[in-house]
Chains A and B, each alone.
Chain A
């Protein structure tokens, strides 16, 4: 069970696809200009990562080491194409909204990275769970990035939600006269916000490290005091 806890912790924080591995920047930067788009892409990515990890883990005994990369790419591309077509055929309304994101997932090298680093070496259940958790790690970071950019860039949150849930509508947080901050909406803004998020993660991690180090020193000091030589 603790192996699964490790997988979850790796996906969400320690080996987070965006904050730690800094992978998959192409769709990340392109689609994170608002919260709804960002989370939609993230959810589609979860589906693809779970399926691709599952498929490769299932087929891993048949894939020779020397040609694993082209085979992985072939399988991932076929899966994404299949999902794209099936979505279009069976969930057309949702496809009209999210369809544009699905081909973008192929450009996300994190899918290949997890297949290569994890699914090709692990069992079905662990591999699928790893895909899920890496996807969850992707969703929360891209969602946060989208929320920050949307808020700074246009003063709203959840704009465009009516395309998915027609009864809901976006929230205007800053006054309507807020002129917007275009650079937050453009790719440079995505880089700035992403840089701040990575810095924030490093800060939290280094603070946690320092605290454990201090605790250890305290321990040693207490120990030295209580047992005089």
Chain B
């Protein structure tokens, strides 16, 4: 007699427990997601400010102050997302001039094929098409293995890996030799961590080619204007 009632009772209690548990899970998810979002909102401007300071410091590293006499921060243009540079977002490009004459371009690029994803680069290319220097600005390569692409982590302090690109152009290293030695190119890599070096080398080659190709147009644009990819 009482059996069907009991089953119904048990079923309803199972349902009730499930709903209660789901509600608690939902509550935890909402609270902790809100906490994360709040932390993000609070820290975002601070993070952006320190990223900008860091960028200015890096520009100083790739472009020695003696190479230009204009106000670099004022003489900048915005680039639309440039696939050739590995970029999916707008970036700034700074134009260095000396005595009013074009001297160098400072631009950002990215390698999307690092060992652990994206490697961000900043590089300076002078008006003759030589890469003055480049630096890695952000990466997630394996600590102690692939992170030698960042000179701060490179064990070779006198001649860090990244400095071998300095002052080279396609006149000294042909474009098809702009690869790591393992791929038949000109540049060293460290055994056991070729992927990081390959990603940086190939991305810097692409960026140099892009800078050389668009150099005249980039220098000609008025300050604070926007460079759109020229449709072929």
Contacts and interface: CB of A to CB of B under 8 A. Distances in A.
Interface in A153-171: 154, 156, 159-160, 163
Interface stretch (B36-44, B101-109, B201-209): B36-44
Contact of A30 (B54, B142, B192): B142
B144 interface: yes
A67 B25 contact: yes
A18 interface: no
B175 interface: no
Nearest to B140: A100
A106 interface: no
Q: How large is the interface on A (under 10, 10 to 19, 20 to 34, 35 or more residues)?
A: 20 to 34
- Would you call the interface of chain A mostly helix, strand, loop, or mixed? helix
Nearest to A186: B192
Contacts of B46: 88-90, 92
Contact of B152 (A64, A70, A89, A163): A163
B32 A160 contact: no
B143 interface: yes
A86 B39 contact: yes
Contact of B32 (A63, A74, A92, A185): A74
A96 B33 CA distance: 26
A85 interface: yes
A30 B25 contact: no
Contact of B24 (A62, A81, A96): A62
A33 B39 contact: no
Contacts of A71: 24-25, 28
Given A100-B143, A185-B192, A75 B25 contact: no
A161 to B, nearest CB: 12
B39 A67 contact: no
Contact of B47 (A67, A89, A159, A163): A89
A86 B147 CA distance: 24
Given A64-B24, A71-B25, A82 B143 contact: no
Given A70-B25, A74-B32, A78-B36, A85 B143 contact: no
Interface in A5-50: 30-31, 33-34, 37
B50 A78 contact: no
B1 to A, nearest CB: 33
B9 interface: no
Given A86-B39, A92-B50, A33 B144 contact: yes
Interface string A90-110: 101000100011000000000
Pairs A-B, 10 closest by C-beta atoms: A33-B144, A89-B43, A89-B46, A78-B32, A92-B50, A85-B43, A82-B39, A37-B143, A85-B39, A88-B47
Interface of B: 20-21, 24-25, 28-29, 32-33, 35-36, 39-40, 42-43, 46-47, 50, 54, 140, 142-145, 147, 152-153, 155, 191-192
23 contacts: A30-B143, A31-B143, A31-B144, A33-B145, A34-B144, A37-B144, A62-B24, A63-B24, A64-B24, A67-B25, A74-B28, A78-B35, A78-B36, A82-B39, A85-B39, A85-B43, A86-B43, A89-B42, A100-B147, A101-B143, A163-B152, A185-B145, A185-B192
